[in-house]
Structure 1
Amino acid sequence: MASTFFIAGAILCCVSEFKWMLIFGRIHFGFGVGFGNEAVPLFLTEIAPIQHRGAVNILFQLFVTIGIFTANLINYGTSLIHPHGWRISLGLAAVPGTVLLLGSSIITETPASLIQRGKEQEGKAALKKVRGVEQVDAEFHQIVLACEHGRQVKQPFKKIFRKSGIPALVVSNMIQVFQQFTGINAIMFYAPVLFQTLGFQSDASLFSSVITGLVNVCATFVSIYTVDKVGRRTLLLQACVQMFISMAFLSMLCHFEAYIFFFFSAWILAMGLFVLFLLPETKGVPIEQVEERLWKQHPVWKKFFKDEGKSCEMA
């Protein structure tokens, strides 16, 4: 579905003759990004070995940054093609969409997904294929238990808002909120505009955004190498410090209305405090054991499980 939306959006944008066609095409891109951002990290999480789960998940972000970098290069090249360079730029989005479509028809479902739908033998076979070994009984048993526990939940949406569901709900949502409001999308999407505001010419601003994209890709490689060594919280905390300091350079933007960066700085500070006090470290912890080993042991979130445990014992 994500790839279909990407391809449709690329075609609409490429042949646009009216503003509404361009907007409608961009909306299709938005749906494609939304579906892809949900499905791919979940897929990677379910197939990744515990000791490499962080690095495997960041592979998704790596290819996102490579995509952004590639798009910056294409935009720089097509800016020299008048008057339809922008059509080529937007139309080429159909290429990765087509690759995604073909790839999605080849890959297998994850073992957890198959087991959850009652296809245990297929799930075990998929697990052997993913792990590359025959002895997967221990991990298979853990997945089966987790799926059985999941089947007992009759009203999943209601459970999300139960007291014990609040920690995961708050953390998962706030991470996404911080990702948006700390300013990365503003920088990546509007880099050419920002550089033009600083005095760069049109071509130079596009080339500067290429440099930004390249740095983004390199930084992702660093994250892949370190995430399973130093942990998620450490990476997030150093990112908060790094971003917060980089907003201190406002004097360099003397010709720019810089108030938006104070807004970003406030969100970065809030993100740092949130990670420091409320985000548990998931390094080396199987997904099936997150509740017992993390939420119920956390100094803040464990309070949300006490009353529910008592009610379960009484039942």
Structure 2
Amino acid sequence: MGPFVCVKRLCLDVFCHQSVPLYLSEMAPSRYRGAFNMGFQFCVGVGVLIANLLNYGTQKIHGGWGWRISLAMAAVPASILTLGALFLPETPNSLIQHNKDPDKAKKMLQKVRGTDDIQPEFNDLVTANEISKTIKHPFKNILRQKYRPQLVMAILIPFFQQVTGINVISFYAPILFRTIGFGESASLMSAVVTGSVGLSMTFLSLLIVDKVGRRTVFAIGGVQMFVSQILVGSIMAAKLGDHGGLSKGYGFLVLILICSYVAGFGLSWGPLGWLIPSEIFPLEIRSAGQSITVAVGFLFTFIVAQTFLAMLCHMKSGTFFFFGGWVAVMTVFVYFFLPETKNVPIETMDRIWKQHWFWKRYVGEEDDKDTNNNPIITECI
């Protein structure tokens, strides 16, 4: 059974988590791109909530075979996803990139934008496609200095998303709640509660991200997660000790703080961890960049999941201080090194790096070399 579950998760991460955010970012208008893309994370949250409800219900089945129902039910959304994909149109970017009829791409762009006035955006797509054709090896090309900011984000954003500790809550919420004194049934219900909170905040993020900007949402969520984790760690250190559980009052306080933490993640790093990578890569390295993002996320999901129980046993309350420290680091990183991408057309995203106080020294220097020496074509031919 184990290998089949691993294959399922691998297919989910490789195909869905890589293709869906990119598809949405390419199809959505720039002013609504954040909301459209976050719809993906919102739907993931709906699925997680339904799964938690199924787990809560099936664990009451006598005989110990309820888990089989939970596992088998995953085939339902997988079937819907597979059938739905058959009816999805190609994005205008894809139609141009694969040398199909430009008129068809233009009509598709007019259709998804709901207007005939798309010539400037269409010209940007054509220009980006012409540049991408000069790139023969995108994985090699992404290592160049001019793509340094995108490469750094492709690695650090999924890494940071995992070391928020969210998968600790997702995977081990029942175990964690039993550790602090909840029973089996109450532990599963607590996981349902936290899932509902996260889903609600993702919906809120969907509504505000294109208005207040990505950086602001990152900052709000980061501060909320940091404070919540430090308080949870402090309560567990002071009241839980090495053995036993918390009193009922402290147990519910921890549950509230964990809900606050999940709310912060659902507002910020949950949806934005997928949105930002899907919108920052130029067409010529987009496939390579998104592949790196998914691979790094999958790797650290595995590492965190495999090490958490050992961390909880040895570090106890220190586990929450550990993840809280990482939340502080990533919040500072976003403040200083991630430029605002709100309302920036996806094919002109390179401008934000040229204007950034830190990244312009990398992007600007190589752009000057490209202008004077034209190394791009000679390197890729």
Which residue of the partner structure matches residue 157 of structure 2? Answer: 175
What are the residue-to-residue correspondences of 1:1-315 with 2, within 5 Å? 22-34=1-13, 35-82=15-62, 83-119=64-100, 120-249=102-231, 250-253=233-236, 254-255=239-240, 257-292=316-351, 294-315=352-373
CA distance in 2, matches of 1:31, 1:247: 30
CA distance in 2, matches of 1:33, 1:271: 26
Residue type of the partner of 2:323? F
Deviations 1:113-140, CA, capped at 9 Å, x for gaps = 1111111222122222222333322222
CA distance in 1, matches of 2:105, 2:368: 35
Deviations 1:172-205, CA, capped at 9 Å, x for gaps = 2211101001101111111111111111111110
Residue type of the partner of 2:90? E
Q: CA deviation at 1:291?
A: 0.9
Residue type of the partner of 2:343? G
Q: Is the 8 A contact 2:41 2:202 kept in 1?
A: yes
Residue type of the partner of 2:41? Q
Q: CA deviation at 1:251?
A: 3.6
Q: CA deviation at 1:243?
A: 0.5
- Find runs of 4+ consecutive structure 1 residues off by over 4 angstroms: none
Deviations 1:19-46, CA, capped at 9 Å, x for gaps = xxx2112112221221211000000000
CA distance in 1, matches of 2:146, 2:118: 31
Per the alignment, in what secondary structure is the counterpart of residue 285 of structure 1?
A: coil
CA distance in 2, matches of 1:251, 1:313: 56
Residue type of the partner of 1:306? G
Q: CA deviation at 1:259?
A: 1.3
CA distance in 1, matches of 2:366, 2:114: 40
How many residue pairs are counted as aligned between the two chains? 293
Q: Which moved more, 1:34-43 or 1:256-265?
A: 256-265
Which residue of the partner structure matches residue 291 of structure 2? Answer: none
Residue type of the partner of 1:103? G
Per the alignment, in what secondary structure is the counterpart of residue 57 of structure 2?
A: helix
CA distance in 1, matches of 2:227, 2:35: 26
Q: Which moved more, 1:68-77 or 1:137-146?
A: 137-146
Q: Which moved more, 1:173-182 or 1:128-137?
A: 128-137
Deviations 1:22-72, CA, capped at 9 Å, x for gaps = 211211222122121100000000000111001111001100111111101
CA distance in 2, matches of 1:42, 1:260: 34
Per the alignment, in what secondary structure is the counterpart of residue 280 of structure 1?
A: coil
Per the alignment, in what secondary structure is the counterpart of residue 176 of structure 1?
A: helix
Gaps of at least 5 residues in structure 2 are 242-315, 374-381
Q: Is the 8 A contact 2:230 2:321 kept in 1?
A: no
CA distance in 2, matches of 1:222, 1:57: 13
Q: CA deviation at 1:305?
A: 2.1
Asked which structure has the greater RCO (Cα within 8 Å, sep 6+), the reply is 2
Deviations 1:68-122, CA, capped at 9 Å, x for gaps = 1110100001111132100000110000000001100111111111111111222
Which residue of the partner structure matches residue 250 of structure 2? Answer: none
